Amino acid sequence: MDYSMDELMEAKRQIDSTLHKLRETIKTFEAKENASRYKSQITLAKRRVKAFEIASHLIEDEIERK
């Protein structure tokens, strides 16, 4: 599918914003006294971070090609 430069830039901005929020969420959960209690939430957030990092990288590649 072909996306405009504006669409790619906005998608990257949104992904980067979500990545920042997810990383902060992980820090918050890990800093809690009973961090082990939040293990599943931490794992899920880390998996989402990885997925969004991949998406961001792919968008960067597409932007560079344009």
Query: What are the residue ranges spanned by the domains of the chain?
Result: 5-65
- What are the residues whose beta carbons fall under 8 Å from the beta carbon of 36, sequence distance 6 or more? none
pLDDT at 12: 98
Cα 61 to chain center, whole Å?
A: 16
Which phi and psi (to 5°) does residue 34 adopt?
Answer: -105, 60
Is the CA virtual torsion 57, 2, 47, 10 positive or negative? positive
pTM of the model: 0.90
pLDDT at 1: 84
Q: pLDDT truncated to tens, each residue of the chain (66 aa)?
A: 899 999 999 999 999 999 999 999 999 999 999 999 999 999 999 999 999 999 999 999 999 998
Helices (H), the chain: 5-31, 39-65
